[in-house]
Structure 1
């Protein structure tokens, strides 16, 4: 058998339901989210009522079994990636905030116990926004998911959590947190933390992008957790969690990249210099073409990883390569978008500078937006 025949197969054909849902999400992104994005970025706050509007779409209900109040459609990494891509067309900050509860649900379905699913999943089926998030990143330049400084010590009654987390989406408001920590002598584990238990503090973070996401740092000082707070049976597949989140991050990058490309194409065709559109200049046209090529590569790599994950096939390599490519090309697309607008690219009058700032986070984020 040839190497080509041995390669893992993947299917990128979208179903009719996926196409219809994409149309709904893209209209929300183009008509509503795009209009809210600038003011939300300036204020550093999420728009009043937006997350409630997003919850009405029932995103968190889609994978939850009917027995627990959900739609019973089943977990679909491909559909989840499409949701993130389409929402990010409107605004990456709002998109990531809107899908964080879904990411929490996905991980609970993937690695949680039956008792935990029965306890928490019905909360996400009531048509209201439940602020839930995941916390993996830690505040150090050499952060490696395999070497967590946040630790959980086993006790007779449960666990004691110590450490810090950073860049936690919705971190200031989340009612449910999935905190990834290292259990002494046992490896990585995930813990469900409700509310703000004694010993836990939250602090707002200010970054150049994702300003309306209310990113926060969390600190745990001898936080006591019950034994049942550990996700599943305690055997947490950290690599799978990271890989699934990388697919989601890549999908967000594709969505923002599409916005940059669409906006830039219109601008260079309308902007005139020396009596003709600047798109008539080869240097401009070639740069736009490069952006389109890079974006399509990002999209195909992301969809391929998601498709393999959905089929239950090995997808670690594909998720890693997609994350590397999206981290590199998203930044290039953002830079080229600003460059093609010239002086306007540096002005807040145009959204390209905001997209550029948001896209800087693609290479930094990890452990969020799990599909």
Structure 2
């Protein structure tokens, strides 16, 4: 048996995701030591060995996805359901409801006490700690978008609650927030567009506790120049009573651990959504490290002749569900940007008031004071546009215009706030002793990331 095949989870020598990462590290160390040996010079393999070291350290080993659980088709007798649209209050009022406020208080505590202390180490490791994920599971993040009658926690569509939760989590750390919210994106998608059979098959698995909880990922982004999520290069072709998928997806959150994917692909010239289980033949995953949101454990998903059944199609074939998926995902990234930008502002304010230069706090300088004021104004503008779009989405209204406005503002101003935060801290903004440099890297992801999270 080859070394690569021995890393395939689920086989006789299957490894857990942590064991797989350890094995890959040992393998890289082994080929690196081989490259330093004088023996390869005598046998004329120096060039080949150096190429192996370069390739493995640059891309990592590509391995099969984790062996997923067996999903019982129509796993329970409860009929499927769609989350109801929130009623209109008749006035422009974005005040959270009592249920949303209660959930928000819990999530804020989680962000401050669990996410923020773990953020730096998780960013360095490019993986979320198990205890952080478990805490998110305990709060109910994966079932936020699941109808209450199917095991969820809300009776109505969760877009507004989801925006509040994403913002609060990102105030702790955006990367860990994305990692905690990623499984819920798939649950929300199945809750919104899944058939009765799809909901009965998959949604019960999201309500598990601890290690029984389902890890799932939304795969939208692709590694190509000028990527347009409304025109995915990944293709789906009809084949008998099913479909065959081919393509590559990037920035897939916790892809190495995921047991279930929702993948976007072009079917008959129109984008569509497909449910793909991790045990499917032709599905492989490799590391996809990035500049920001590193704690989310990003991966690249390779689909080579992946065959799925006719029941894998999620939603419609006219592109409506796909378009709504992309917009709700962009809205989620806006909420994440608001939370992280607020974290930058909250960190900078006491710093400029306490940091002294030439005998007085630097906040007494007009250039500093005006910069901080602009940051505060822009955070509020980002929040207002994001909440307005989320409130319309919760009512089931068209949000194309509102999401477009929110995304444009959050991508531009969020990145600017991160840059200004680094600038205001001077040399301290450039070092990892302070979290602002990490938040700056994370905020740059808002304008380029597609998918991963969903409201």
Q: Equivalent of 2:431, from 309, 325, 347?
A: 347
Deviation at 1:36, TM superposition (A): 0.4
| Unpaired stretches in structure 2, ≥5 consecutive residues | 1-89
Tell me whether 1:202 sits opposite 2:301 in the alignment. Answer: no
Contact 2:143–2:152, Cα closer than 8 Å, also in 1: yes
Contact 1:10–1:308, Cα closer than 8 Å, also in 2: no
Deviation at 1:223, TM superposition (A): 1.0
- Counterpart of 1:323 in structure 2 is 407
Deviation at 1:236, TM superposition (A): 4.4
User: For residues 279-290 of structure 1, what are the structure 2 equivalents within 5 Å?
Assistant: 279-290=363-374
- Counterpart of 1:61 in structure 2 is 143
User: For residues 240-279 of structure 1, what are the structure 2 equivalents within 5 Å?
Assistant: 240-279=324-363
Distance 1:281 1:137, change over 3 A: same
User: For residues 1-371 of structure 1, what are the structure 2 equivalents within 5 Å?
Assistant: 10-128=92-210, 129-185=213-269, 187-237=270-320, 238-371=322-455
Deviation at 1:98, TM superposition (A): 0.5
1:364 aligns to what SS in structure 2? coil
Which whole-Å deviations, capped at 9, do the CAs of 1:276-327 have from their partners, x for residues lacking one? 1111111101100000011100000000000111122221101011001100
How many angstroms apart in 1 are the aligned matches of 2:104 and 2:154?
19
Distance 1:12 1:357, change over 3 A: same
How many angstroms apart in 1 are the aligned matches of 2:126 and 2:146?
32
Contact 2:260–2:277, Cα closer than 8 Å, also in 1: yes
How many angstroms apart in 2 are the aligned matches of 1:162 and 1:9?
47
Give the CA RMSD over aligned residues: 1.5
Distance 1:62 1:346, change over 3 A: closer
1:178 aligns to what SS in structure 2? strand
1:334 aligns to what SS in structure 2? helix
Deviation at 1:45, TM superposition (A): 2.0
- Counterpart of 1:3 in structure 2 is none
- Counterpart of 2:43 in structure 1 is none
1:201 aligns to what SS in structure 2? strand
Deviation at 1:212, TM superposition (A): 1.6
Which whole-Å deviations, capped at 9, do the CAs of 1:181-207 have from their partners, x for residues lacking one? 01134x111111111421111110121
Contact 1:248–1:368, Cα closer than 8 Å, also in 2: no
Residues paired across the two proteins, number = 363
Deviation at 1:113, TM superposition (A): 0.8
Deviation at 1:66, TM superposition (A): 4.1
How many angstroms apart in 2 are the aligned matches of 1:152 and 1:258?
41
1:56 aligns to what SS in structure 2? helix
Contact 1:9–1:308, Cα closer than 8 Å, also in 2: no
Q: Look at both structures and tell me which one has the larger radius of gyration over its CA atoms.
A: 2
How many angstroms apart in 1 are the aligned matches of 2:149 and 2:102?
25
Contact 1:70–1:122, Cα closer than 8 Å, also in 2: no
How many angstroms apart in 2 are the aligned matches of 1:188 and 1:282?
51
- Counterpart of 2:82 in structure 1 is none
How many angstroms apart in 1 are the aligned matches of 2:383 and 2:403?
12
How many angstroms apart in 1 are the aligned matches of 2:192 and 2:148?
16
How many angstroms apart in 2 are the aligned matches of 1:23 and 1:66?
20
How many angstroms apart in 2 are the aligned matches of 1:9 and 1:137?
37
Contact 1:166–1:218, Cα closer than 8 Å, also in 2: yes
Which whole-Å deviations, capped at 9, do the CAs of 1:200-233 have from their partners, x for residues lacking one? 1111012111112111111111111111111135
Distance 1:290 1:240, change over 3 A: same
